[in-house]
Structure 1
Amino acid sequence: MSPRPGPLNGIKVIELAGIGPGPYAGQLLADYGADVVVVDRPSNAVVPKGIDGRGKRSIVLDLKKPEAIDALLKMVAGADVLIEGLRPGVTERMGVGPDACHAINPGLIYGRMTGWGQSGPWSQMAGHDLNYIGMTGMLNAIGKKGEPPMPPLNMVGDFGGGSMLLVTGILTALIERARTGKGTVVDAAIVDGTHSLMSFVHGMAGPGLWNVERESNLLDGAAPFYRCYTTSDGKFIAVGCIEPQFFAAMMERLPIDAEAYGHQQDRGKWPEQHKMLEAVFASKTRDEWEAIFALTDACVTPVLDYVEAADHPANAERKAVVKDGKWLHPQVAPRLASHEVADGFVIATKGGDHASVLAEAGL
């Protein structure tokens, strides 16, 4: 398996096998042409290789054995980046921590992915996405008032605050290395990244435009013009017409008396307006509403499941999702004008590149 053509061609990445944000960060680097080698464990993986294994190579090393550690360090000597998602101190005890790796390769970017960070009183405590985002204010802001917060899958913490910020740190460090010749350690903590994602909320809260009570703000379901409604077929439509001209475009296409509805920003009428819109959107199917609002500026669109999304013309025309057998591959994002969009992907086979990777390391 050879790397995809891309701006990161020539960048060699070692990824110590894990689940969630570390592998996804490796996927993003591989999508842009980096040569990502996953060091898999001899035991069965927690989950089989999926989309986050695309464009990568895989070897199997039992890192409990000294000879495996020696092999890994030989690989490190020729690498640009190492990604690990173990608890703080584990790679140090294995003999492949930042100091050991930098002694062999001073230019290495050592990317560390954790939930709580490399330091702090909770750094050694277990956790998952829900725990991490619960400590940032993010989780408390999602869901209906008076009910428990709603888990936003694991997109916000693991992949938003985790993977995306790890990749940002790695790319930033690579730019710095080009100037200084020195590598560094990237301490990517999901709590830190999720706090960063909350910048917009903190920016609104500063001048008093956001408060901590759930479902009482512009974007958390309180506004009738920014929420989802159930349609007659039990599906959903998303209404997001915040700006007055977009709101007017929606109202023009709804059988609602504008005077009876009242002003868009009259918070005192929001409960009544919610009920009016709920009744109206329940009168037609989701697809009927899509036909009414398609190609308008009303900001009213269908809520699709991921299978429907792959086939929808708005996505299909851009090849936003590439179908390959049982897989639906999200397209490389963002797109670069200098490179063609992908027509297909190859997913690594566990241990499938063992001999070739070790030979490149001189073994």
Structure 2
Amino acid sequence: METHRAGPLAGLRIVEFAGIGPAPFAGMVLADFGAEVTVIERPGGESRLGGGSALNRGKRVLRADLKTPAGLALVRDQVASADALIEGFRPGVMERLGLGPDTLCAAHPRLVYARLTGWGQTGPLARTAGHDINYVALTGLMPAAAREGHGPALPATLLGDIGGGALTMLFGLMCALWESRRSGRGQVIDAAILDGVGYMGSLIQALRADGLWSDDPARNFFLHQSPYYDCFECADGRWLSLGAIEPQFHAELMTRLGFVPVPPQDDPAQWPALRARVAARLRERPLAEWVLVFGGSDACVTPVLTAAEAPLHPQQQARRNFFMRDGVAWAMPAPKLSRTPATPAGNRGELADDIRTE
């Protein structure tokens, strides 16, 4: 069993029911920041997506057959001394096991019971299957990732499972735990990926309300049609990201590309021609040369790195943003706390070595 170090959540006891995706990630975050997390694993758990085993660092794993009285008794004993419980099953599963919030919260009034699902505990889709891509699709935000002539494309799991699901649930968990200090009472958290992603779209909705967001890609620089906010291919087939939104940054970008005088930025009618010029210019040199051209500038240009390259980038190195475990580079917990930082456990409970190029 791994022994966890002190951290800002030291003393907090969490029971996590093993699953896949966002719930194990949420438990890992709590463990990284010092909570004592006990994972309840059932025989024959999910294997197609690896279950939560890769995200079990710093956790205590307890195997229990929830179909037996002994297994259920073991789980109830763990919950009796816990501050919070995390589960990511479809609605009704925990109730059928006799471990629903009505039962457990009645026995333990201070318990915070966090339920993390795709569709939520209520509604016509609540008991149906789904995954990250399905939940995001129903928020109305997926068209923002579409390119003309192509369907929307999303990075796997990041927006829905992790952003809208795990991180939203974790905030709700912290809110409920803070409130319980005053009231002495826990509560149930109904965290749905659908809800969380929709909430994350509030900035886009605010821009739309102010008339600053168009659903027409030809008039919205975010939607992959402008010459200054997109990824462009270099001579070697690698990609460069451009994000020069503000006028001064746009001027820096165009000047370093050799486009002087600087062409107009906010005339969508000129975007297609200028975009073609930018694309042609960037295809003249390989990625490494463009990195040198834009290095240290305010042009808002960065290379699109691979997973193997990212830990070795100077900014990542300076931030000590990765550590090694079992020969794999893992991201350090975020955010960084000045006095009680998170310390992810290594193989035997020790802090693993961060990645350095020296």
Structure 1 residues 216, 57: CA separation in 2 closer, same or farther (over 3 Å shift)? Answer: farther
19-28 or 64-73, which deviates more:
64-73
40-49 or 116-125, which deviates more:
40-49
Structure 1 residue 218 corresponds to structure 2 residue 212 = no
TM-score normalised by L of structure 1: 0.91
2:119 aligned residue: 116
Task: Output one character per residue of 1:137-170: Cα deviation in whole Å (capped at 9) or x when no partner.
Answer: 1222212123221133111001000000000000
Query: Is the Cα contact below 8 Å between 1:141 and 1:213 reproduced in 2?
Result: no
2:312 aligned residue: 311
Counterparts of 1:317 and 1:344, CA distance in 2: 21
Counterparts of 1:248 and 1:68, CA distance in 2: 65
Q: What are the equivalent positions in structure 2 for 1:1-363 lying under 5 Å apart?
A: 1-46=2-47, 47=50, 49-214=52-217, 216-258=219-261, 262-340=263-341, 342=343, 345-346=346-347
Counterparts of 1:108 and 1:101, CA distance in 2: 8
Query: Is the Cα contact below 8 Å between 2:24 and 2:56 reproduced in 1?
Result: yes
Q: Residue type of the partner of 2:292? A: A
Query: Is the Cα contact below 8 Å between 2:32 and 2:343 reproduced in 1?
Result: no
Q: CA deviation at 1:48?
A: 5.7
Task: Output one character per residue of 1:87-112: Cα deviation in whole Å (capped at 9) or x when no partner.
Answer: 11110110000011112211011000
Q: Residue type of the partner of 1:15? A: E
Q: CA deviation at 1:258?
A: 2.5
Secondary structure of the residue aligned to 2:221 is coil
Counterparts of 1:138 and 1:200, CA distance in 2: 11
Q: Residue type of the partner of 1:65? A: T
Task: Output one character per residue of 1:208-257: Cα deviation in whole Å (capped at 9) or x when no partner.
Answer: 22133456423221221111110011000011111111111112211223
Q: Residue type of the partner of 2:40? A: V
Counterparts of 2:164 and 2:266, CA distance in 1: 32
% identical equivalent positions: 39
Counterparts of 2:51 and 2:105, CA distance in 1: 32
Counterparts of 1:25 and 1:298, CA distance in 2: 36
Task: Output one character per residue of 1:320-356: Cα deviation in whole Å (capped at 9) or x when no partner.
Answer: 11122322111110000003564863489xxxxxxxx
Q: Residue type of the partner of 2:147? A: K
Unaligned runs of 5+ in 2: 350-358
Counterparts of 2:141 and 2:38, CA distance in 1: 34
Q: Residue type of the partner of 1:241? A: A
Counterparts of 2:26 and 2:162, CA distance in 1: 8
Query: Is the Cα contact below 8 Å between 2:19 and 2:45 reproduced in 1?
Result: no
Structure 1 residues 258, 199: CA separation in 2 closer, same or farther (over 3 Å shift)? Answer: same
Counterparts of 1:199 and 1:218, CA distance in 2: 18
Output the aligned Cα RMSD.
1.7
Counterparts of 1:317 and 1:126, CA distance in 2: 42
Secondary structure of the residue aligned to 1:307 is coil
TM-score normalised by L of structure 2: 0.92
Structure 1 residues 214, 5: CA separation in 2 closer, same or farther (over 3 Å shift)? Answer: farther
Q: CA deviation at 1:3?
A: 2.0
Q: Residue type of the partner of 1:10? A: G
Counterparts of 2:218 and 2:18, CA distance in 1: 39
Structure 1 residues 341, 107: CA separation in 2 closer, same or farther (over 3 Å shift)? Answer: closer
2:356 aligned residue: none
Q: Residue type of the partner of 2:228? A: F
Task: Output one character per residue of 1:56-77: Cα deviation in whole Å (capped at 9) or x when no partner.
Answer: 1101111111221111111111
Aligned pairs, number: 346
Counterparts of 1:49 and 1:87, CA distance in 2: 17
Counterparts of 2:139 and 2:348, CA distance in 1: 34
Counterparts of 1:159 and 1:118, CA distance in 2: 18
Counterparts of 1:89 and 1:310, CA distance in 2: 42
Counterparts of 1:313 and 1:342, CA distance in 2: 22
Unaligned runs of 5+ in 1: 349-363
Task: Output one character per residue of 1:17-56: Cα deviation in whole Å (capped at 9) or x when no partner.
Answer: 0000100111111111000111011115421655421111
